[in-house]
Amino acid sequence: MVDLHGRYDQVVCLDCRRTYSRRLLAGVFEELNPGFLERAADGGLVEMAPDADATVEDQALISSFVVAICPACGGTLKPDFVYFGENVPKDRVERSYAMVDQAAALVVAGSSLTVMSGLRFVRHAAKESKPVVIINRGATRGDDKATIKLEAGVSQALDYLAAELPAL
């Protein structure tokens, strides 16, 4: 399995590429910025997005925030997922192609394949005549390449398949 667009529960250093637990980093932020969340909730926080991006209008609150640095190298930390407009890291793409090449089939779970970063592996598998299974609620850009399309939620479908398929 490849978390193609990264993982929400990890943070990566953009300089040395070390990864850290987001939970650990949350503790570091709280130590560096005691009471920040409470102050933001009381007067400056306008909106919190699912990717943890936030809109804060209180400029004094923003300017007082102390940013954590990588404990290993002092570099810049960021959530370890690909934001819109960013590229999937090259090593992850290469590893993904290698996995598709070695696999008997490709399973895409819970993606609309709207962006090319995931669709390219579906096209690659289909070109290599490998079965493609897509599990998703709603249409995807890869449906025309799918050998099997399961119109279902990922958890439900994978639980069913795990229970029904013989152990490999």
DSSP, residue by residue, 35-69: THHHHIIIIIEEEE-TTS-EEE--HHHHHTPPPPB
User: Does residue 67 sit within a domain?
Assistant: yes
- Domain holding 115, by residue range, is 90-164
Tokens of 105: 């089939």
Q: pLDDT at position 122, please?
A: 97
* Final residue of a structural domain among 18, 46, 81: 81
Which amino acid is present at 94? E
DSSP run (H or E) holding 10? strand 6-13
Note the pLDDT of residue 151: 93
Same domain for 159 and 94: yes
Last residue of a domain, one of 17, 51, 81: 81
- Pair 129, 143: CB distance under 8 Å: no
What pLDDT score does 29 carry? 86
Q: Look at residue 99 in the predicted model and tell me its pLDDT.
A: 96
CA distances from 88 to 8, 63, 77, 117 (A): 14, 31, 17, 7
β-pairing, 45-48 vs 148-150, is unpaired
Of 49, 81, 113, the last residue of a domain is: 81
Which of 4, 5, 118, 134 is an active site residue? 5
Predicted TM-score (pTM) of the model is: 0.71
CATH no. for residue 127? 3.40.50.1220
The answer to whether residue 1 is domain-embedded is: no
| pLDDT in single tens digits along all 168 residues of the chain | 888 888 889 999 999 999 999 898 888 888 999 988 788 777 656 676 766 676 777 778 788 889 899 999 999 999 898 888 889 989 999 999 999 999 999 999 999 998 888 999 999 999 999 999 999 999 999 999 999 999 999 999 989 888 887 765
Q: Where do the H-state alpha helices sit in the chain?
A: 22-32, 36-39, 59-63, 90-102, 116-127, 154-164
Q: Check if 5 is active-site.
A: yes
